Structure 1
Amino acid sequence: MQAWRVHENGEPGEVMQLDEVEAPTPGEGQLLLRVRAANVNFPDALLCRGQYQVRPPLPFTPGVEICGETEDGRRVIATPALPYGGFADYAVADAAALLPAPEALDDAEAAALHIGYQTGWFGLHRRAALKEGETLLVHAAAGGVGSAAVQLGKAAGATVIGVVGGAEKAGVARALGCDVVVDRRSEDVIAAVKEATGGRGADVIYDPVGGEAYTQSTKVVAFEGRIVVVGFASGVIPSAALNHALVKNYSVVGLHWGLYNLKDPAAVLRCHETLTAYAGKGLIKPLVSERVPFTGAADAVQRVSEGVTTGRLVVVPEGAAA
């Protein structure tokens, strides 16, 4: 079979190599899955660089989220067990963690559902307790993680403000359903959010960016607001000024979705059932901006890492349906 493998750490476009290898052998409690579609995530780039919290042995195949098919023909969503990731003809996954792919979504959409939407749901509902009628601000609203949060915010009955970088991404955010779109490249984010909220600020702020975005969040968070820290796509991990949180009476909450798989796996299953129902009703639909041929996987991971894409890029192995 063919598999993209990383033999040394570095930039994805430079270190991902297309190899001909034997299909992996599943370990105890694992299954071999034929990959139908593999979503590109920012952690794939961090894995290539050796900067992720998990460091699989070299060589390894990145690709942390797939829609796959079991040997008995079931269409499933999975997070592959590294080092046998999803940018390959076949991947390995823990049998207990497999989830049925929603019938309402095609393979590429299903591949892009699991991590981003689970992260969004847990972040907005479990960690921030988003309520109907509240205002939600989403940084990087046109990206893969942000677009999921926008759709989930609208499904929850929130007013959604999307912050983006550039006119093209602003158009994507509007199409996703953002009530207000702020282009950080041409607008003052703080002034624009205050104007949109009548000076009150946002009740919940969803931040997968960090850096300057987090600083802006602290200046536009409402009384008793909640800033949900999801990631640091900017590459800058901010230091929270706790005296500021005290004076303004807001909360900063972290969201590491992967911990729920360890601490409360039943909650992950319940969330998937909710997301499947949402998809069936048309409330959510992963924004797949590009279905990438298998040979373009390394370039796709590189582009996602550079923040130049919108929505989701999904790699489709040769001969697979999407």
Structure 2
Amino acid sequence: MRAIRCNQYGPPETLTVEDLPDLEPQAGEVVIDVKAAAVNFPDVLIIENKYQFKPPLPFTPGSEVAGVVRKVGAGVTQFQPGSRVVAYTGQGGFAQQAVAAASACVPLAEGVGFAQAAAFTLAYGTSHHAVVDRGALKAGETMLVLGAAGGVGLAAVEIGKALGARVIAAASTDDKLAICTKHGADATINYATEDLRERIKALTDGKGPDVIYDPVGGVYAEPAFRSIGWRGRYLVVGFANGEIPKLPLNLTLLKGASIVGVFWGDFARREPAHNAAAFKQMVEWIGAGKLRPYVSAEYALEDTGRALRDMAERRVVGKVVITP
């Protein structure tokens, strides 16, 4: 089988395509013929050794896949060869075959495309955990989403609307904001051309948002947090900007506000029952048309480096996938 390999930490251009032996499942595992593997910002950080998860070299990046079960290991009864599944693998996704724990696989209905399915797990899992569990967003409240045109950002916009909240989307271009509006955003902020604090103030009648969803970090974090409403919840989701901000803690005192960390991967591992309940709710929302995973581009396996470069340089809208 062909696979992307990270043999040394570095930029996306250092990745190689290699021929590797076919995979064999261990007990409790399945081998999946990968039809689509989603690209996520942590993939960029992992290959550069800038992420909290550090697989030993060499490794194949890619953490979420959709495809068809090829082989099953001992003890696996819920799937068989030919089963359509979506799975969170942690690594190994950018390849023609991937191994996943059977417990990390979800059956995929015939009518759901592989690309859309691969784009769902991490982005929507992260955003549901953030918005519903950690942010406790309620109907009638207002949520500001920074980096709203990215995969997790668009998921947060849709989940906020599914809950009955008012959602303000912030992004760096008008084209990106147009996508956010199509996915339900009630108002928008172009933080490349508008004053973020002044625009937030105008859109919230000076009250500030109840929840701020921040997967970006960097220079927008402090002005956003200074604009948060009383008893607001600031969700720390990631640092796509590349800079980890340092917020003055006196601001939490003045607003009675909370800074809340979001780490979906560990949540799913530590609280599997709660995570399963979250996905059950989201599947119902998909059936009702409230969630619509948006895949803006598909890349061939040999173009994985370019996909990761586009992700690193914030050219991606929604999600992009690799199709081995």
Q: What TM-score bracket applies, with the shorter chain setting the length?
A: over 0.9
Tell me if the contact between 2:138 and 2:163 (Cα under 8 Å) persists in the aligned partners: yes
1:106-143 Cα distance to aligned partner (Å, 9 max, x none): 11011010111011111111111100011010001111
Cα distance in 1, alignment partners of residues 126 and 41 from structure 2: 13
CA shift, 1:24, in A, is 2.3
Of 49-58 and 140-149, more deviation after overlay is shown by 49-58
TM-score by length of 2: 0.94
1:131-169 Cα distance to aligned partner (Å, 9 max, x none): 001101000111111011001111111111000001221
For residues 180-195 of structure 1, what are the structure 2 equivalents within 5 Å?
Answer: 180-195=187-202
Cα distance in 1, alignment partners of residues 272 and 110 from structure 2: 22
The percent of aligned pairs where both chains have the same amino acid is 39
Matched, 1:231 2:238: yes
Partner of 1:35: 34
CA shift, 1:264, in A, is 0.8
Give 3-state SS (helix, strand or coil) of 2:205's partner: coil
Give 3-state SS (helix, strand or coil) of 2:179's partner: helix
Cα distance in 2, alignment partners of residues 190 and 87 from structure 1: 40
Partner of 1:320: none
Cα distance in 2, alignment partners of residues 74 and 280 from structure 1: 21
TM-score by length of 1: 0.94
Partner of 2:82: 73
Partner of 1:9: 9
- Residue identity opposite 1:258 in structure 2: G
Tell me if the contact between 1:116 and 1:144 (Cα under 8 Å) persists in the aligned partners: yes
Tell me if the contact between 2:226 and 2:251 (Cα under 8 Å) persists in the aligned partners: no
For residues 74-223 of structure 1, what are the structure 2 equivalents within 5 Å?
Answer: 74-82=83-91, 85-101=92-108, 105-223=112-230
Q: How many residues align?
A: 314
Give 3-state SS (helix, strand or coil) of 1:45's partner: helix
Q: CA RMSD in A?
A: 1.3
Stretches of structure 2 that go unaligned for 5 or more consecutive residues are 71-80
Matched, 1:62 2:61: yes
Cα distance in 1, alignment partners of residues 195 and 147 from structure 2: 15
C-alpha spacing 1:225/1:35, structure 2 compared with 1 (3 Å): same
Give 3-state SS (helix, strand or coil) of 2:242's partner: coil
CA shift, 1:102, in A, is 5.1
Give 3-state SS (helix, strand or coil) of 2:254's partner: helix
Cα distance in 1, alignment partners of residues 30 and 90 from structure 2: 10
Give 3-state SS (helix, strand or coil) of 2:230's partner: strand
- Residue identity opposite 2:159 in structure 1: L
Stretches of structure 1 that go unaligned for 5 or more consecutive residues are 318-322
Tell me if the contact between 2:232 and 2:255 (Cα under 8 Å) persists in the aligned partners: no
Tell me if the contact between 1:211 and 1:232 (Cα under 8 Å) persists in the aligned partners: yes
Partner of 2:251: 244
CA shift, 1:80, in A, is 1.6
Cα distance in 2, alignment partners of residues 295 and 275 from structure 1: 33
C-alpha spacing 1:278/1:118, structure 2 compared with 1 (3 Å): same
